[in-house]
Amino acid sequence: MDRFLRLIGFLVIIFIAAPLVIVVPISFSNARSLQFPPPGYWLGYYQAYFSDTDWLRPTFNSILIATATTVLTMVLVVPATFALVRHRFYGKSVADLMMLMPLAVPHIVMAVGYYSFLGNLRLVHTHMGVVLAHACLSVPIAFLVLSANLKGFDRNLERAAQSLGASPVQTFIHVTLPILRPGLFISALFAFIQSFDETVVAIFISGRDAETLPRKMFDSIRQEADPVIAVISTLLFAAVLLALLTPLAWSSIRKRLRKRPPAAAFSGG
Amino acid sequence: MGATIAKLAERPNLWPWLLLTPLAIYLAIFFLVPLVNVAIMSVTEPRLTLANYERVLVGALYQRVFLNTFLTAGLVTLACLLVAYPLAYLMNHSSQRTAMMILLLVTMSFWTSFLVRTYAWMVLLGNNGPIIAFIKAIGIEIPPQLLFTRFSSTLAMVHILAPYMIMNIYSVMRKIDPVLIRSAESLGARGFALFRHVYLPLTAPGIANGCVLVFVICLGFYVTPVLLGSPREQMIAGLIGTQIEEFLAFGMGSAMAMVLLAVTLAILAIYHRRFGLDKLWG
Amino acid sequence: MTVRRNRAPFLLAPSRRSFLKASGAAVTTTLAMPYIAQAQENVLYINTWGGPWEEAAKQYIFDPFTTETGIEIRTVSPVSFAKLAQQVRTGTYEFDVTTLGAGELIRAEQAGLIEELEAPFDGGLFHNGIASHAFATVIAWRTDKFSDGGPQNWAEFWDVERFPGPRSLQRYPARVLPLALLADGVAPEDLYPLDIDRAFASLDRIKDHVLVWWTAGAQSTQILRDGEVDLIGIWHGRYFEAEDAGAPVAMTWNQGEIERAYWVVAKGTPNAENARKFVEFATSPEPLAGFVTQADYGPLNLAANEFISTEDAARMPTSPDNYPLTFEQEIDNFGADIEEVAQRFEEWLAS
């Protein structure tokens, strides 16, 4: 039984890993087509990506749009989360539910809605239009992360600060904010990634001037399977890998340097 | 300034509303209005009529596409479950280091853009790809067609959605007290009995969560079926896209979108009554 | 701690804090990156087919036009009739100029999607489009699959016993229905007006074998070149692209379906004046001759023939050798409402 499960688990691991790994050699391939194994290796498609404005512009648009989306999302979500987590009021359960609704609606439905709604506002094909749409989709994600953090927040720390004479504003800036910083960062990061990866709404509304990277990739995969996609895939994959491994490496280095027992290192988290 | 905030803080009724208002206004304008717009278009385009719904609900083509969408979503959910459960079990029964490595892999897959993963399946399943090469190498001369079929789009969707299921099941499984398992074993529970009477009931919440999540996401999937599937086995989102982009048939597209939305919300509403919606994505 | 870990399971919980610190720097850099707005004066946006089409157009039409007028040209692809219609609906323009086939041209004119134009040369105006070049949809196949030669007409293309293997056709009924009728035994001279029901019945016979209904020119080249399909109905220019890339492929001009492409200007675009200038330039003899020679099209402004050698003409569908083998679309005599046929085709496709 156990051996059988192990075998299945092993196959599942290959199933999950194979597509992640395959794009790397393909990105160095010198073939025009999707050939595996590649007939030869070169860096030509990397060069093509970094010198082609048709690829760089969407990349840049995506970074810009995701950044603006993150800022807008956080400005809206942070106060709302405080209201929903720390206060009891009439209609709270409805408000809670409303926060999650954008996550419940299929993106294709929103895409149809935005396509005509933003069209009426003359905001189709603009950065502003994409940001306004993406922020809606990022709200529930940022809210979920932040509210989980805020619920775990020990309010005695704030009470202690206030009993020592700090004003509510001082307490907020010097006590609440620093403790919540990781939660805020994670929630902003989720909002950023949500926007950066969002494809369906962007396909319908981002157009010529605000074309995002996922839209460009979608078009390219659909039309010609340009090998540059493998390059971008590899770069995106490398970014994820780096983002996940850096903290692991960092904490193990720190552990070794300080020689503290691991339990103590995380007791504050 | 500080004094005003302090004063507001003392009046518990006004403060939360003040904090919520900007977001509420924002969501009302940029989330609700576009949705209402879809609802309106579905009965006013090209003129005031319910004909769009009639066509969507009665027309043989649309019935078939909806049926196909449900079947695919069900199949993908089942496949995800079959992939996720053994893996979660394995993670739970390996050393912490191995479990961590697997978790890292799953997390990595989750964070990798699904366009990237869709593209990767195109490479893997293409006629010049490694899988066809392998099939040829073991002596099958006419390899089966993999790419641009129901198989390829379903497989890619399973890959894309499996991390949701794995995370959900693993998070409940690792909370199972090992003592419980050991005592069940000491009472003679082995193999399937152990699974049936101990694992299954204890992991049921994670399974329910994962299944609802995967099923609902799959219902509205656009990109992967469009890129990897065959136009004969379209899913509803792809058909909505064609109606809007190719025919500018906003009425039909909107009516289909409303039906899709209604089905999705109905499933989530049932889940909400049973478990609470905030648990689903947690 | 445990509660929070379960609530955000997708990040590796124990390392969350240090992870944040590491990524913080990257995000700050991004935020600080200045956004450079692009000036949009004196720019013309042209909707192109990409690939070899665009390369040829850039070299012989776009660049000389920019040199002559100082108007910068940017391109948007692929060509999409729906996008043209969408632009008028939303008032946001992705492109100012595009090329359309005759079927789409008539649809566009009826729907009021294009500006009125004047004939720059004799016989150059058709439903407010300026005739540019002719292209053909031809039969092509993989020589590594069919070493004894491929199908020589559409009836043979439909013959899945003699030529087994996955096929591809364009997802475009106005172009595919006539082929289906030829495959069913209708003579080219009796095609129009089309017998739509018979055409769909004929398509039914091959449906199971059409693996890909291609939607963009580049896609058709890619699936033929990479061997995703063994047989394809493909534009001749796209075929030559695959052949030039060294793929084992062959084609026949026999029963090639000739169509004419027309330049049109999107209705209401702010760049209409520049667009008119461009359309006139693009169909004037010398630039057109260069473009069609490079991309293997047949020029519709006959004055361009002066600049074309007989060798080059051999790869054009309108050459004296090739033209007799082919047939032309008669879109004015189509036999049904094209829009309705398009809807019916999509429904047929999904069933």
In 3D, which of C257, C234, C260 has the Cα closest to residue C323? Answer: C257
* Rounded Cα gap, residues B113 and A216, in angstroms: 13
- Average per-residue pLDDT in chain A? 88
- pLDDT the model gives residue A62: 97
- Indicate if C136-257+331-350 has the same CATH topology as C43-134+260-324: yes
Domain ranges of chain C: 43-134+260-324, 136-257+331-350
- Kindly report, residue by residue over C191-217, the tens digit of the pLDDT: 999 999 999 999 999 999 999 999 888
* Rounded Cα gap, residues A216 and C104, in angstroms: 25
Q: Which domains are present in chain A?
A: 57-226 (1.10.3720.10)
Cβ–Cβ below 8 Å for C212 and B60: no
**Hey, which residues 218-257 in chain A have their CB within 8 Å of chain B?**
218, 221-222, 225, 229-230, 232-233, 236-237, 240-241, 243-244, 248
Q: Are strands C249-265 and C327-328 parallel, antiparallel or unpaired?
A: parallel
Using CB atoms within 10 Å of the CB of residue C272, give its burial: 0 to 12 exposed, 13 to 18 middle, 19+ buried: middle
Identify the CATH homologous superfamily for domain C136-257+331-350. Periplasmic binding protein-like II (3.40.190.10)
* Rounded Cα gap, residues A181 and A187, in angstroms: 10
Give yes or no for residue C159 having a pLDDT over 50: yes
- Kindly report, residue by residue over A81-130, the tens digit of the pLDDT: 999 998 888 888 888 888 999 999 999 999 999 988 988 888 888 899 99
State how far residue B95 is from chain A, nearest Cα, in angstroms: 13
Give yes or no for residue A131 having a pLDDT over 60: yes
- C245 with C55: CB under 8 angstroms? no
- pLDDT the model gives residue B4: 54
Q: Which of A205-209, C129-133, C240-244 has the weakest average pLDDT?
A: A205-209
- pLDDT the model gives residue C166: 94
- Kindly report, residue by residue over B11-31, the tens digit of the pLDDT: 556 888 899 999 999 999 999
**Which tops the pLDDT comparison, A32 or B23?**
B23
Q: Give me the mean pLDDT over the C32-43 stretch.
A: 46
- B39 with B258: CB under 8 angstroms? yes
> Between helices B51-58 and B60-92, what is the axis angle to 10°?
60
Cβ–Cβ below 8 Å for C227 and B127: yes
- pLDDT the model gives residue A38: 86
- B195 with B135: CB under 8 angstroms? no
Cβ–Cβ below 8 Å for A200 and B15: no
Judged by DSSP in three states, C136 sits in strand
- pLDDT the model gives residue C27: 41
Nearest by CB: A104 against B227, B237, B264: B264
Give CA separation, C39 vs C33, C42, C80, C250, C256, in Å.
19, 9, 26, 46, 44
Q: Which fold has domain B60-281?
A: MetI-like fold (1.10.3720)
Q: Give me the mean pLDDT over the B31-37 stretch.
A: 96
B97 reaches A (C-beta below 8 A): no
C257 forms beta bridges with: C137, C327
Give yes or no for residue B8 having a pLDDT over 70: no
Q: Which chains touch A (3 or more CB pairs under 8 A)?
A: B, C
Cβ–Cβ below 8 Å for A19 and B30: no
- B275 with B205: CB under 8 angstroms? yes
Give yes or no for residue C33 having a pLDDT over 90: no
Judged by DSSP in three states, C11 sits in coil
- pLDDT the model gives residue A250: 84
Q: Give me the mean pLDDT over the C306-328 stretch.
A: 88
Percent of chain A with pLDDT over 70: 96
Give yes or no for residue B56 having a pLDDT over 50: yes
In 3D, which of C210, C244, C220, C80 has the Cα closest to residue C138? Answer: C220
CATH class belonging to C43-134+260-324: alpha beta
Per-residue DSSP letter, A34: -
- pLDDT the model gives residue A1: 58
Q: Which chains touch C (3 or more CB pairs under 8 A)?
A: A, B
* Rounded Cα gap, residues A89 and B24, in angstroms: 15
Q: Which one-letter amino acid corresponds to residue B174?
A: R
State how far residue C177 is from chain A, nearest Cα, in angstroms: 23
- What are the start-end ranges of the H helices in chain B? 2-10, 15-27, 33-44, 51-58, 60-92, 96-111, 114-125, 130-137, 150-173, 178-186, 191-194, 200-219, 223-228, 236-245, 250-274, 278-281
∠ CA B161-B165-B171, nearest 5°, is 145
B121 reaches A (C-beta below 8 A): yes
Per-residue DSSP letter, A198: -
- pLDDT the model gives residue B195: 82
Give yes or no for residue A259 having a pLDDT over 70: no
Give yes or no for residue B166 having a pLDDT over 70: yes
Give CA separation, C174 vs C49, C249, C339, C344, in Å.
18, 26, 10, 12
| Backbone φ and ψ of B46, nearest 5° | -80, -15
B106 reaches A (C-beta below 8 A): yes
Q: Give me the mean pLDDT over the A1-9 stretch.
A: 81
Q: Give me the mean pLDDT over the B126-145 stretch.
A: 86
* Rounded Cα gap, residues A15 and A5, in angstroms: 15
Give yes or no for residue C19 having a pLDDT over 60: no
Percent of chain B with pLDDT over 70: 95
* Rounded Cα gap, residues B130 and B144, in angstroms: 13
State how far residue C122 is from chain B, nearest Cα, in angstroms: 34
* Structure-block tokens of residue A45: 């498609």
CATH 1.10.3720.10 boundaries in chain B: 60-281
State how far residue A38 is from chain C, nearest Cα, in angstroms: 13
* Rounded Cα gap, residues B247 and A211, in angstroms: 22
- Kindly report, residue by residue over C241-275, the tens digit of the pLDDT: 999 889 999 999 999 999 999 999 999 888 899 99
